[in-house]
């Protein structure tokens, strides 16, 4: 990690440690922690990290932004930080200036479509859009007769049906009915909905990997505190075996996510290498979220399922993040199609190149 990445990551870690302590948030039923946290993040320029300075952003590198997302995952941050970063990144692809405040992106599923009408308005329906209810603006990728366009839309101009994801965060349905965007420009050549889904998938992979790191830390600590049959449960072979498996899932997720982030940060095009790394990371991290979350709850027993315990903040969000920007089953099929299309002779060169 470069020195600048260290500084950005340390800044994010400090803000989260001071204002996003899991136990404090878990006990706060009024959500009073959200405004100070968002203000601190905004003051540090983190929500618009991927936006160039001439587009009203911080001008940080992709690698620096990815380090922020890893930290956000370790704290299971329940504010639209990742969504605002992705929205800013999407708008920056078309050199559209980002507004202040919370944003999100639409569509958030590879199966949904937003259409650019002949009169310049937008129509369509996007399901499972994270934090749409909390967003002031939505960065929209729309398809039209001349290809894809990127638009900035006032959230108030859309019909938003509130929904909740598995982790308890907003996962809303956004409907655009001939909505006039605040700004719209053509997407760069080669940029399409798959490009957006892959970038969102890498962001979610990093968050899942971060959450798994915290689940492992929490589980190890609990096993060294909990006493059963007059000895710590960490001394039982079955528990040790489970913790080793959890460590393996966490390490695998971290390796896949950071490899994808590195590939994206150093990529100059949305090519096969970009696709392979991002899709593989989303698949592996999603699998790890399921297996790792189950193990963490097994170690904790009944206490881990209670509202009062912080474990569910990580496990449920990690499971919810599996479905955003394409589930592991979706990307497994798409990855299979890529390999099949290239042919058997190209399989080993493709894999070995990574």
The whole-angstrom separation of Cα 337 and Cα 29 is: 46
Whether the pLDDT of residue 1 is over 70: the answer is no
193-352, what's its fold?
Answer: Butyryl-CoA Dehydrogenase, subunit A; domain 3 (1.20.140)
What are the sequence ranges of the domains in the chain? Answer: 1-77, 103-190, 193-352
pLDDT one-digit tens code per residue, 169-187? 999 999 999 999 999 999 9
103-190, what's its fold?
Answer: Butyryl-CoA Dehydrogenase, subunit A; domain 2 (2.40.110)
DSSP H stretches of helix in the chain: 3-19, 22-27, 34-43, 62-74, 81-93, 193-225, 237-265, 272-300, 311-321, 328-342, 347-352
**pTM over 0.85, yes/no:** yes
Whether the pLDDT of residue 234 is over 60: the answer is yes
Full DSSP string of 220-256: HHHHHH-EETTEEGGGSHHHHHHHHHHHHHHHHHHHH
Between 6 and 294, the higher pLDDT residue: 294
- Give the pLDDT band of residue 4 (cuts 50, 70, 90): low
Residue 45 near residue 166, CB atoms below 8 Å: no
pLDDT one-digit tens code per residue, 114-153? 999 999 999 999 999 999 999 999 999 999 988 999 999 9
Whether the pLDDT of residue 272 is over 90: the answer is no
Coil, strand, or helix at residue 180?
A: coil
pLDDT at 67: 95
Full DSSP string of 246-291: HHHHHHHHHHHHHHHHHHHHT-SSS-HHHHHHHHHHHHHHHHHHHH
The whole-angstrom separation of Cα 324 and Cα 341 is: 26
Cα–Cα distances in Å, from 291 out to 84, 214, 253, 279, 295?
Answer: 29, 15, 11, 19, 6
CB-based contacts of 161, cutoff 8 Å, min separation 6: 172, 173, 175
pLDDT one-digit tens code per residue, 176-228? 999 999 999 999 998 999 999 999 999 999 999 999 999 999 999 999 888 88
């Amino acid at each position: 990690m470069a020195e600048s990445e260290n500084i950005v990551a340390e800044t994010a870690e400090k803000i989260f440690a001071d204002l996003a302590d899991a136990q404090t948030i878990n006990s706060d039923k009024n959500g009073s922690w959200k405004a100070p946290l968002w203000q601190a993040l905004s003051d540090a320029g983190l929500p618009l990290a991927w936006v160039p300075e001439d587009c009203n952003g911080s001008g940080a590198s992709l690698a620096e932004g990815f380090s922020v997302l890893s930290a956000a995952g370790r704290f299971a941050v329940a504010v639209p930080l990742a969504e605002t970063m992705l929205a800013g990144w999407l708008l920056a692809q078309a050199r559209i200036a980002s507004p202040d405040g919370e944003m999100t992106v639409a569509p958030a599923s590879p199966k949904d479509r937003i259409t650019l009408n002949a009169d310049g308005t937008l129509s369509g329906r996007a399901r499972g859009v994270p934090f749409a209810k909390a967003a002031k603006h939505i960065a929209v990728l729309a398809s039209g007769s001349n290809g894809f366009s990127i638009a900035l839309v006032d959230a108030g101009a859309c019909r938003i049906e509130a929904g909740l994801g598995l982790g308890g965060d907003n996962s809303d349905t956004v409907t655009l009915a001939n909505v006039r965007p605040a700004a719209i420009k053509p997407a760069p050549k080669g940029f399409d909905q798959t490009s957006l889904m892959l970038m969102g998938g890498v962001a979610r992979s990093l968050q899942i990997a971060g959450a798994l790191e915290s689940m492992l830390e929490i589980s190890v600590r609990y096993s060294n505190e909990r006493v059963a049959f007059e000895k710590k449960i960490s001394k039982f072979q079955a528990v040790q075996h489970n913790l080793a498996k959890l460590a393996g899932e966490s390490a695998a997720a971290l390796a896949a996510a950071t490899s994808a982030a590195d590939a994206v940060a150093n990529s100059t095009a949305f090519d096969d290498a970009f696709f392979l790394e991002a899709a593989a990371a989303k698949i592996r991290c999603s699998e790890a979220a399921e297996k790792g979350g189950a193990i963490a709850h097994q170690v904790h027993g009944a206490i881990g399922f209670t509202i009062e315990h912080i474990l569910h903040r990580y496990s449920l969000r990690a499971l919810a993040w599996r479905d955003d920007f394409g589930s592991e089953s979706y990307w497994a099929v798409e990855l299979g199609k890529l390999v099949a299309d290239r042919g058997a002779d190209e399989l080993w060169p493709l894999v070995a190149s990574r």
